[in-house]
Structure 1
Amino acid sequence: MRIDKFLKVSRLIKRRTLAKEVADQGRITINGKVAKAGSAVKIGDELAIRFGQKVVTARVEDLRENVRKEDAMNMFTILKEEKLDKIEPQFIDDEE
């Protein structure tokens, strides 16, 4: 199943178009590799999704084409949520 469709069906992201945008911006990894919207996801894969200053890591537990809202949370397990610190830009001094 495509990652953008999985994110929408599982309700990790509400709309498929938004899931596609997030993936195409390089904010999703599957097993540590940057994913595009068409990247395939399978049971057991570990997803890391960056939402602003937060990264949510989840494991894929089930793949379904359609699922009721009540059952959507059974499609994944949240492994961790991390808040990112703001990274200050580092300047390189060429004069050294």
Structure 2
Amino acid sequence: MRLDKFLKVSRIIKRRTLAKEVCDSGQVLVNNRVAKAGLEVKPGDQVAVNFGTRRLVVEILEIKETVPAKEAAGLYKIIEQ
């Protein structure tokens, strides 16, 4: 699954267009490398998103095309907040 789509489906970032902009501006790292929006992510990957002064690091547990909002947090495990 594309990185920008995962960020949207998992509700880490609300809109896919915003997720794409954040990725393309270099604020997202996958496995400690700067990642573009089209990067294919898989379970086990670590994703770090910089929100200004905050940083969120998660590990992808599962990939699904669509999930209800209540189950979205089950797609990842928070490592650092």
Q: Normalization by structure 2: what TM-score?
A: 0.98
Amino acid at match of 2:22: V
Partner deviation per Cα, 1:27-66 (whole Å, 9 max, x = no partner): 0010011100001110000011000111110000110001
Identical positions, percent: 48
The structure where helix makes up a greater share of residues is 2
Amino acid at match of 1:32: N
2:67 is the counterpart of 1:67 = yes
CA distance in 1, matches of 2:53, 2:21: 17
Root-mean-square deviation (Å): 0.5
Q: What is residue 18 of structure 1 aligned with on the other side?
A: 18
SS of 2:49's partner is: strand
Q: What is residue 90 of structure 1 aligned with on the other side?
A: none
CA distance in 1, matches of 2:51, 2:43: 22
CA distance in 2, matches of 1:36, 1:44: 18
Q: What is residue 51 of structure 1 aligned with on the other side?
A: 51
Question: Runs of 5+ in structure 2 lacking a partner?
Answer: none
CA distance in 2, matches of 1:32, 1:42: 15
SS of 2:78's partner is: strand
Q: What is residue 29 of structure 1 aligned with on the other side?
A: 29
Count of aligned pairs between the two proteins: 81
Question: Runs of 5+ in structure 1 lacking a partner?
Answer: 82-96
CA distance in 2, matches of 1:37, 1:79: 21
Q: What is residue 6 of structure 1 aligned with on the other side?
A: 6
Larger relative contact order (CA 8 Å, sep ≥ 6): 2
Moved over 4 A (4+): none
Amino acid at match of 1:43: P
